[in-house]
Amino acid sequence: MDDLKQGHCVPCEGGVPQASEGEIAEYMTRLPGWKVIEVDGEKRLTREFMFNDFAHALAFTNRVGALAEQEGHHPALLTEWGKVTVAWWTHAIKGLHRNDFIMAAKTDEAFQASEGAKK
- Residue-range domains of the chain with CATH: 2-7+16-112 (3.30.1360.20)
Give dist(CA 101, CA 24) in Å, integer: 9
pLDDT of residue 1: 44
Name which of 4, 2, 3 is nearest 103 in CA terms. 4
Mean pLDDT of the chain: 92
Give dist(CA 65, CA 93) in Å, integer: 21
φ, ψ for residue 85 (rounded to 5)?
-105, 125
| Residue 16 pLDDT grade (very low, low, confident, very high; cuts 50, 70, 90) | confident
| Residue 15 pLDDT grade (very low, low, confident, very high; cuts 50, 70, 90) | confident
20 in Cβ contact with 12 (< 8 Å): no
What are the tens digits of pLDDT across the range 51-73?
999 999 999 999 999 999 999 99
What are the tens digits of pLDDT across the range 89-105?
999 899 999 999 999 99
At residue 14, the 3 state secondary structure works out as: coil
Q: How many CA atoms lie within 13 A of 72 on its CB side?
A: 7
Q: Which residues contact 54 (CB under 8 A, 6 or more apart)?
A: 79, 80, 81, 82
State the average pLDDT over residues 83-88: 98
Count, residues in the chain = 119
Give the distance between the most distant pair of CA atoms in the chain: 42
